[in-house]
Amino acid sequence: DADVDGAHISTLLLTLFYRFMPELIYEGHVYIAMPPLYKAMPSRGKEEYLYDDRALETYRKKHTGVFTLQRYKGLGEMDSEQLWETTMDPESRRLKQVEIEDARLASSVTEMLMGTEVPPRRQFIYENAVDAELDI
């Protein structure tokens, strides 16, 4: 999913692959699908998928006319055609190949946030709380 829940799931899965199947990452077999977060449907013109909040802000500045906005909370909210077009179709989907550094970082962050050592977690929260994006 394109939201914070999807990022959390990706982090957990990257940690799993890094710890138990690192050869899949080293050999370049692990990818992350990058589905859109929004779909903008103007009253005139072409529909457009927007992949993050920054893209939405840019769209709002460029399109002064009326448009309908659909926010995807998860892939389950897409119909089969939208899922194919945005996430499954090799011609139009966006994929990010996972590199070993991505997996190392995911593993270390997961260990720090979920592990038994409280001081590193507390320090991380103090340093990063201002940058937290609440998805409410």
| Residue 135: closest CA among 2, 22, 32 | 2
Residue 112 lies in domain: 1-32+97-136
- Res 128 pLDDT > 80: no
pLDDT digits (tens, 9 = 90+) for 60-101: 999 888 999 999 888 888 889 989 999 899 999 999 998 888
pLDDT band for position 15 (cuts 50, 70, 90): confident
Tell the residue number behind the tokens 């929004």, with chain if given: 38
Residue 68, H or E segment: strand 67-71
The total number of structural domains that make up the chain? 1
Does residue 133 contact residue 38 with C-beta atoms inside 8 Å? Answer: no
Report the predicted TM-score, pTM, of the whole model to 2 decimal places: 0.68
User: Is 107 a member of any domain?
Assistant: yes
pLDDT digits (tens, 9 = 90+) for 18-72: 889 989 988 999 999 999 999 999 988 899 999 999 999 999 999 888 999 999 8
The dihedral formed by the CA atoms of 32, 5, 84 and 55, expressed in degrees to the nearest 10 = -90
User: Is 91 a member of any domain?
Assistant: no
| Residue 32: closest CA among 89, 84, 97 | 97
pLDDT score recorded for residue 1: 64
Residue range 108-112: mean pLDDT, rounded: 80
Q: Directed axis angle between helix 118-128 and helix 100-114, to 10°?
A: 110
- Res 121 pLDDT > 90: no
Higher-confidence residue: 23 or 103? Answer: 23
Name the token pair of 105.
Answer: 């970082």
- Res 106 pLDDT > 80: no
Q: Would you say how long the chain is, in residues? A: 136
User: Is 101 a member of any domain?
Assistant: yes
User: Is 18 a member of any domain?
Assistant: yes
* Residue type at position 97: Q
C-alpha span between 127 and 70 (Å, rounded) = 33
pLDDT band for position 109 (cuts 50, 70, 90): confident
- Res 134 pLDDT > 70: no
